[in-house]
């Protein structure tokens, strides 16, 4: 299983110019092109998860995630925010890189946890924040994932 | 979308989240990587589930409780015309509606609430 196989180019936004965490989650959910109602349910679930504890894991990276019946397969998105967002992250630093993961309650191939784990593993690599900052295109982002062998 | 269906979906998602925090991989990740307190989170989820439950009519509330208790899921998706609670095809007239989620559909064969994902 390769992480890059789960990302599509149109679910990568390298120029987020949102003001808040909420707005950012909405924009990223929007990349999945669901209907309005499903988007709002998904947003609510992601917010609920954030209320249980921030998904900002430090070093400028956040991994909001949830399961919901409104998606029929695992979906991932990535967003980069130049100025940085207040995500109430563990290290209290602004978040620049947001990986969004959503999955249905039950998946045939059970990929949710492994994908979350791989993104976590990727995020922990020392040079990843600076490499993500330097990425110039969605393809470049996918190449980085590939290069890191996740 | 039918208002009570939306509430049921939310409640089910919260139940799933709660269950995942009680065991295994998700719990490990949430308490490790994300430094979440699983016990506090479970309490918060329970409170939210109870709050949402008040929005449901009595019979729907009872059906939800019984399904989630005995079969883990109360709402199941209908994919390609098949109910994923029992793998029986749903009546074509149901699936053919403009937005089947506008009604609260209960499977005639397995009794689960049904949801049509987009
Ligand atoms: Zn059924």
Give the model confidence (pLDDT) of A4-45 as tens digits: 999 999 999 999 999 999 999 999 999 999 999 999 999 999
Phi, psi of A102, rounded to the nearest 5 degrees: -135, 150
What is the spatial distance between Cα A28 and Cα A49, in angstroms, rounded to a whole number?
16
**Which of A36, A53, A56 best tests the B interface by mutation, with the highest count of B CBs <10 A?**
A53
Contacts of B87 (CB under 8 A, 6+ apart): none
What average pLDDT does chain A have? 95
Say which CATH topology domain A3-148 has. Mannitol-specific EII; Chain A (3.40.930)
Domain ranges (residues) in chain A: 3-148
Q: Which of residues 32-91 of B touch A (CB under 8 A)?
A: 33-37, 40-41, 44-45, 48, 73, 75, 77, 79
DSSP, collapsed to helix, strand or coil, labels residue A150 as coil
Min CA distance, A18 vs chain B (Å)?
Answer: 23
Q: Answer yes or no: are the C-beta atoms of B1 and B67 closer than 8 Å.
A: no
Domain ranges of chain B: 3-115
- pLDDT reading at B72 higher than 90: no
For A116, counting Cβ atoms within 10 Å of its Cβ (0-12 exposed, 13-18 middle, 19+ buried), the class is: buried
Best residue in B17, B28, B64 for a mutation probing chain A (most A CBs within 10 Å): B17
CB contact under 8 A, B73 and A38: no
Closest of B98, B52, B39, B62 to residue A45, by C-alpha: B52
Mind listing the pLDDT tens digit for each residue in B17-50? 999 899 778 899 999 999 999 999 999 999 999 9
How distant is the alpha carbon of residue B80 from its chain centre? 19
In terms of pTM, does the model score above 0.90? yes
Number of H helices, E strands in chain B: 5, 3
pLDDT of residue B24: 79
Q: Are B44 and A51 a contacting pair at CB < 8 A? A: yes
A34 to B118: CB separation less than 8 angstroms, yes or no: yes
Spatial contact of B61 and B68, defined as CB atoms under 8 Å apart: no
pLDDT of residue B86: 96
CA distances from B114 to A48, B6, B85 (A): 23, 11, 8
Tens-digit pLDDT profile for residues A79-92: 999 999 999 999 99
Alpha-carbon distance A57 to nearest alpha carbon in chain B (angstroms): 6
Query: How many Å from the N-terminal Cα to the C-terminal Cα in chain B?
Result: 12
Q: Is the pLDDT of residue A107 over 90?
A: no
Residue A65 falls in the annotated catalytic set: yes
Given the residues A33, A65, A81, A96, the one annotated as active site: A65
ipTM for this model? 0.87
Distance CA B60, CA A29 (A): 30
Contacts of B9 in chain A (CB under 8 A): 41, 68-70
**pLDDT computed for residue B23 by the predictor:** 79
Interatomic CA distance for residues B95 and B115, integer angstroms: 10
């Amino acid at each position: 299983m390769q992480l890059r196989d789960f990302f599509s180019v149109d679910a990568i936004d390298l120029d987020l110019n949102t003001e808040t965490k909420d707005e950012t989650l909405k924009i990223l959910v929007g990349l999945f092109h669901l209907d309005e109602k499903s988007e709002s349910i998904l947003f609510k679930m992601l917010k609920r998860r954030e209320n249980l504890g921030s998904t900002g894991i430090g070093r400028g990276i956040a991994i909001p995630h949830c399961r919901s019946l409104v998606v029929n397969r695992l979906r991932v998105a990535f967003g980069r925010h130049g100025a940085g967002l207040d995500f109430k992250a563990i290290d209290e630093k602004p978040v620049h890189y947001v990986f969004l993961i959503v999955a249905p309650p039950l998946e045939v191939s059970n990929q949710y946890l492994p994908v979350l784990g791989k993104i976590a593993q990727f995020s922990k690599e020392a040079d990843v924040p600076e490499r993500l900052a330097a990425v110039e295109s969605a393809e470049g982002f996918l190449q980085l994932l590939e290069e890191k062998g996740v | 979308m039918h208002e009570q269906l939306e509430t049921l979906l939310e409640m089910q998602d919260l139940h799933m989240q709660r269950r995942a925090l009680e065991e295994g991989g998700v719990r490990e990740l949430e308490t490790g990587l994300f430094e979440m307190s699983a016990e506090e989170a479970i309490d918060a989820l329970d409170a939210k589930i109870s709050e949402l439950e008040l929005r449901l009519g009595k019979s729907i509330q009872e059906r939800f409780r019984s399904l989630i208790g005995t079969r883990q899921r109360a709402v199941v998706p209908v994919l390609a015309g098949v109910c994923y609670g029992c793998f029986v095809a749903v009546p074509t007239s149901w699936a053919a509606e403009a937005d089947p989620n506008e009604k609260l559909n209960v499977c005639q064969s397995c009794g689960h609430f049904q949801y049509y994902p987009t």
